[in-house]
Amino acid sequence: MFRATWKSLLARKVRLILSGLAVVLGVMFVSGAFVLTDTLGRSFDQVFADAYEGVDVNVSAKPKVALGEMEGEPVSAPVPAATLERVRAVGGVAEATGVVAADGARLIGGNGKVVTSFGPPQLGENWVGESDLVTLREGREPRADDEIVVNAALAQAAGVKVGDRVGVLTREPKKEFTLVGIFGYSGGRDSIGGANEVAFTTPVAQRLMLGEPDVFTNISVKAADGVGDERLRDDIAAALGDGYEVKTGQQMSADAAAGLKEGLSFFNKVLLGFAAVALLVGTFLILNTFSIIVAQRTRELALMRAIGASGRQIIGSVVLEAVAVGLIASVLGLAAGIGVGALLAYLFGKLAGGLSLAGLGVPAAAVIGAFGVGLVITVIAALLPALRASRIPPIAAMQDVATPDRPLTKVTVGGTIVTAIGAGLLFLGLSGNADDNTLSTILGGVLFAFIGVALLTPLISRPVVSLLGAVFAWSVPGKLGRLNSGRNPRRTAITAAALMVGIALVTGVTVILDSAKGSISALAEDRIKAELVISGAQSGPRPPSFDPAVLEKAAAIPGVQLVDGEYGDMAEVNGQRTWVAVSSNVAALERIFSAKATAGDISRLGPDQMLFSSDAAKSRDVSVGSRVTVQLSRGEARTYTVSGIYESSELTNPVVLPPQAARDFAIPQPIQGFLQLAPGANVDDVRPQVETLLADSPEVSVADRAAFIKQQTSQLDGLLQMIQILLALAIVIAVLGIINTLALSVLERTRELGLLRAIGLRRAQTMRMITVEAVVISVFGALLGVAVGTGLGAAVVEALKDEGITDLVLPWGQMGLFLGLAAIIGVVAAVLPAIRAARINVLGAIAHD
Amino acid sequence: MTATVGREAQAAARANDVWKVYGSGEAQVMALRGVSAEFERGRFTAIMGPSGSGKSTLMHCLAGLDAVTRGTVMIGDTTVTGLGDAGLTRLRRDKVGFIFQQFNLLPTLTAQENILLPMSIAGRKPDPAWYDTVIDTVGLRDRLGHRPAQLSGGQQQRVACARALVARPEVIFADEPTGNLDSRSGAEVLNFLRDSVREHGQTIVMVTHDPTAAAYADRVVFLADGQIVSELIEPTADTVLDTMKKLDTPAEVAR
């Protein structure tokens, strides 16, 4: 039996290559994700190990507001200079250095634009001298207040050299400095993990980065010879008491790396999610291939049964074949995944400003994932055809059986049930009744819906395919192609369903994002009563900001009626992490953002008063007159009295504090500015004047409202593009499926094709016939996908109605594009099978058994 | 030895010193060794011979389905030898009709669509009077809307005959057309083929190993070991059987 299986596998290796390829692609995605995140993870380990190499013990104050990895860089509370003296007094301390290092030092490059880092921090520091890690490559250390040194990577990115006058944005507006030196790191590195660093003299760093004199971000301690790091840490902690975090250098690097890895593991999960989609599509493909192969081998299998093989042996033979395909595909997929992971890690390293990569590693998870997924998926997909094979009666060997059309009743009933389960899960998940399991309920619902629809597809396929094919029925090859595609509804259905999954997901996501975009745009156009907006595109963790002085100057421009600058920060409000905002002009809430008061007065705000949105007030159980404690990134906790509550909308923040509070924000500068013009004032007259004011704030620009809305929603476009690229893999696999189905059908119909050629069908006509079949199948799949995707998208949009997505926007253009694309996919997929069909040897085909 | 048969100048198909060699070296098989034959217009010719005698090969070569190694083949005034794929396709479409032993019809098309398929591929319209005559002769008028799976074997083969006839080709090649049928259905089909020759002047060349089937022909050509060895005019089942018996003994050497 084993021998027979092996021989039959070898005989059909070409047919199995395509389905194997589907597994290879899926496995590649899975193992590539693991290899990528593992390599990046170890690279970051190395980065932080280097960064804390010369530090035995580190002392910092606890951050006032603890932040998660995805919420930005936490701002640690300042360490007073006096603490440095106390640390120096502890026995066993050889050397203690006060360090200033905070995110937000933005260098203006030679082109007048701010140099961005795309992720890693932009540190503003005090120069503490050369060390084992840091050496000056050029020039000298900063001595005067207007002198700085920068790391080599930043100097290169900015295009500046020693002796240049360069502008730097910090907590304070743009200041000019002379670049007096450029430094690098041990091992010839230009940066540590892509971070940009600007080093000032210590007093300047304290003033510009921390906003107060004689404080540090942390104290770096070197232990005396013979003193253990842990012991010294405990001694210092005991000497300083509460309020300080004292850690060894090792702990510091481990903690820093752990934070980043949290982000990486999220990234990994996203990639694995897309891999799962690709594998689901691959499953359809493998199922179809094995079904067709079993159908074609009916006589062979029946003969085996006739000469004494048991049904179990037949199942074993088919499953064994699947195991072989799965194993080979997993090995290839793993190899490809390692390659792709390495390539992506390399690209990531380049993008992140020269992150030096740790050696490529293959984590156990990648290997286990590859083989687990590859084998399990293939075997599961082959199980159903195997069962069918075992039910072939021995008598079939003697008969000339064309695979009979089995009734679709069972499949249809099953499909209806599964679809209903999917719809139920979706409803449960989207209606918010699934508690903690919302996401998994929704994902399960989508999965069930896909499988259910796939099961229902054979039933739909007859009328729809016949309708689609009618377009081509004017020519004989077109008519034949149309009839062929309607011939085996199951086969057509599974092939089309594979394409459906990818297209449905892309359509669904497009519907949701377009609806979100449409709703936000509509709301913004309706509610934002500002003709000009100052803002910038965010390219790292820190949003762009501008000089607050611009606000006052802008208000003085003739024709400007109202100016508001918006500040924002994460804060602890009654102990709960919350996004808080400051409007430089509280009146803007009503007059620019069309907010309506539901309680109290929201038109003004005293220094000890604060406003809540109705939602935030409800969830925190506060009302007008409540006293609320707010801890900002800096300074001490403060108690405010709630003086007003406004109706929540997408445009309003949950909490608004008085302007004075902005000083203690992590970014004490406005992030956005809104200008309302007086009636009759001309936008084109005012804008150039605002542009002049922004000359020293190159991170932002001024735009009219339409451009601002476009800019805001363009972030969603980027997200959409990324999702489309990742889902493209699922579509590629579906295309393989179409090629495979067609190739197998061509093989199966060799005699028929021979007959057609014998009675005078030309080669070109033969090719056209196959192409029509492919196009009909792929357009059918795309139609299904667009329909299912629209349904899913509309359901999600409906569920998000309360979250502000009020308008259902159907991307007709995109849908048309998908259908057109499907037609092209069909033509492309048909190329090889069509050539094969056209080359069929007429005589051989007729004699074909 | 080469026996030249068929003396009439008006040949619908002609083979001139045709050799067909498969393989090379040790594995070389000579399927045809210098066959020359003419198949007259308006006659029903049967090609007979034991298995491996080369009768199917001869028919494939005549029909342009297989290339000859040496010699020439002509259909009407067209030289088949040396035609490219496009030329052969055109030849099959316009001048030749086929009836095979099995798998003759497209399962997705109805009987009528199958019958009209060669004409629609060629983009021609059938002569309605002739079409009616053919349909009536094969007696399938009430089955035209059925698909092959809904027809009996004999009916399917009659549809295939109608398909071959409706285009009025120069010559129809039939490869064991009754091989898969019971004797009654077989007789129906053969009667029908003979009638189309007698009444409508169709030319038919049929390969068969069944003496009863051969007896329906006007003439039988016998092949053995790749060569034409004998011929019968106006055969009966008995005379065919006798000739076959004589051929059987030396034929063993062929393979």
Interface mutation target, options B22, B56, B62, B65, chain A, most CBs of A under 10 Å: B65
3-state secondary structure chain B: CCCCECCCCCEEEEEEEEEEEECCHHHCEEEEEEEEEEEECCCEEEEECCCCCCHHHHHHHHCCCCCCCEEEEEECCEECCCCCHHHHHHHHHHCEEEECCCCCCCCCCCHHHHHHHHHHHHCCCCCHHHHHHHHHHHCCHHHCCCCHHHCCHHHHHHHHHHHHHHCCCCEEEEECCCCCCCHHHHHHHHHHHHHHHHHHCCCEEEECCCHHHHCCCCEEEEEECCEEEEEEECCCHHHHHHHHHHHHHHHCCCC
Nearest CA in chain A to B96: A759
- Asked if residue A47 lies in contact with residue A259, where contact means CB atoms within 8 angstroms, the answer is no
Residues in chain A: 849
A402 in B contact zone (CB under 8 Å): yes
CB contact under 8 A, A759 and B108: no
In the chain, the amino acid numbered A708 is F
Interface mutation target, options B57, B100, B121, B207, chain A, most CBs of A under 10 Å: B121
Residue B6 placed within a domain: no
Which phi and psi (to 5°) does residue B226 adopt? 80, 10
A288-332 pLDDT, tens digit each: 878 877 777 777 777 677 666 677 778 888 888 888 888 988 999
Q: Residue A180's pLDDT is what?
A: 95
Which ranges of A72-201 would DSSP assign to H, the alpha helix? Answer: 81-89, 152-158
The domain total for chain B is 1
A107 pairs with which residues across the strands?
A168
Using CB atoms, pick whichever of A755, A762, A843 lies closest to residue B103: A755
The radius of gyration computed from the CA coordinates of chain B, to the nearest angstrom, equals 18
CATH number at residue B179: 3.40.50.300
Residue B4 placed within a domain: no
DSSP 8-state symbol, A114: B
- Asked if residue A338 lies in contact with residue A366, where contact means CB atoms within 8 angstroms, the answer is yes
Please give the Cα distance from A349 to A370 (Å, whole number): 25
Nearest CA in chain A to B92: A760
CB contact under 8 A, B89 and A476: no
Please give the Cα distance from A71 to A541 (Å, whole number): 8
Interface mutation target, options A484, A488, A753, A759, chain B, most CBs of B under 10 Å: A759
- Asked if residue B31 lies in contact with residue B22, where contact means CB atoms within 8 angstroms, the answer is yes
CB contact under 8 A, B103 and A751: yes
From the CA of A740, how many Å to the nearest CA of chain B?
A: 21
A340-395 pLDDT, tens digit each: 888 888 887 776 655 667 777 788 888 888 888 888 888 888 888 888 888 877 66
Instruction: Name every chain B residue with its beta carbon within 8 A of the beta carbon of A487.
Output: 107-108
CB contact under 8 A, B93 and A760: yes
- Asked if residue A822 lies in contact with residue A503, where contact means CB atoms within 8 angstroms, the answer is yes
Instruction: Name every chain A residue with its beta carbon within 8 A of the beta carbon of B108.
Output: 480, 483-484, 486-487
Q: Which of residues 379-398 of A touch B (CB under 8 A)?
A: none
Give Cβ neighbours of residue A621 (< 8 Å, ≥ 6 apart): none
Q: How confident is the model at residue B2 (pLDDT cuts 50, 70, 90)?
A: very low
Q: How buried is B172 (Cβ within 10 angstroms: 0-12 exposed, 13-18 middle, 19+ buried)?
A: buried
CB contact under 8 A, A846 and B121: no
CB contact under 8 A, B92 and A762: no
Instruction: Name every chain A residue with its beta carbon within 8 A of the beta carbon of B60.
Output: 843
Rounded to two decimals, what is the model's pTM? 0.74
Using CB atoms, pick whichever of B92, B108, B122 lies closest to residue A758: B92
Q: Residue A401's pLDDT is what?
A: 47
From the CA of A737, how many Å to the nearest CA of chain B?
A: 23
Instruction: Name every chain A residue with its beta carbon within 8 A of the beta carbon of B102.
Output: 400
Residue B64 placed within a domain: yes
- Token pair for A315: 């199942």
Q: How confident is the model at residue A580 (pLDDT cuts 50, 70, 90)?
A: very high
| Residue B237 vs residue A435, higher pLDDT | B237
Neighbours of B170 (CB within 10 A): 18
Please give the Cα distance from A442 to A818 (Å, whole number): 25
Give Cβ neighbours of residue A444 (< 8 Å, ≥ 6 apart): A422, A425, A429
Nearest CA in chain B to A757: B89
Q: How confident is the model at residue A73 (pLDDT cuts 50, 70, 90)?
A: low
In the chain, the amino acid numbered A200 is F
Residue A15 confidence (pLDDT) above 50 = yes
Q: Name the residue range of residue B56's domain.
A: 11-251
The greatest distance separating any two alpha carbons of chain A, rounded to the nearest whole angstrom, comes to: 103
Q: Residue A166's pLDDT is what?
A: 93
Please give the Cα distance from B63 to B52 (Å, whole number): 19
Using CB atoms, pick whichever of B102, B108, B149 lies closest to residue A483: B108
Nearest CA in chain B to A842: B65
Residue B1 placed within a domain: no
Q: What angle do CA B79, B81, B87 make, to 5 degrees?
A: 75
DSSP 8-state symbol, A196: E
In the chain, the amino acid numbered B169 is P
DSSP 8-state symbol, A93: E
Please give the Cα distance from B200 to A136 (Å, whole number): 106
- Asked if residue A712 lies in contact with residue A524, where contact means CB atoms within 8 angstroms, the answer is yes
Please give the Cα distance from A287 to B247 (Å, whole number): 54
A248 pairs with which residues across the strands?
A57
Helix (H) or strand (E) holding A148: strand A147-151
Q: Residue B8's pLDDT is what?
A: 42
A14 in B contact zone (CB under 8 Å): no
Interface mutation target, options B99, B106, B163, B181, chain A, most CBs of A under 10 Å: B106
CB contact under 8 A, B60 and A843: yes
Q: Residue A611's pLDDT is what?
A: 93
ipTM above 0.85 for this complex: no
| Residue A263 vs residue B81, higher pLDDT | B81
Residue B208 placed within a domain: yes
In the chain, the amino acid numbered B168 is R
A483 in B contact zone (CB under 8 Å): yes
Average pLDDT, chain A: 84
In this structure, the strands spanning A576-583 and A218-223 are: unpaired
A760: three-class secondary structure by DSSP: coil
Q: What angle do CA A79, A83, A89 make, to 5 degrees?
A: 150
Helix (H) or strand (E) holding A325: helix A311-351
A417-454 pLDDT, tens digit each: 888 888 888 888 777 766 667 777 888 888 888 888 88
Please give the Cα distance from A681 to A703 (Å, whole number): 16
DSSP 8-state symbol, A317: H
CB contact under 8 A, B89 and A402: no
Helix (H) or strand (E) holding A411: helix A409-430
CB contact under 8 A, A759 and B118: yes
- Token pair for A298: 């009916």
Residue B254 confidence (pLDDT) above 50 = no
A710 in B contact zone (CB under 8 Å): no
CB contact under 8 A, B104 and A755: yes
Please give the Cα distance from B100 to B175 (Å, whole number): 5
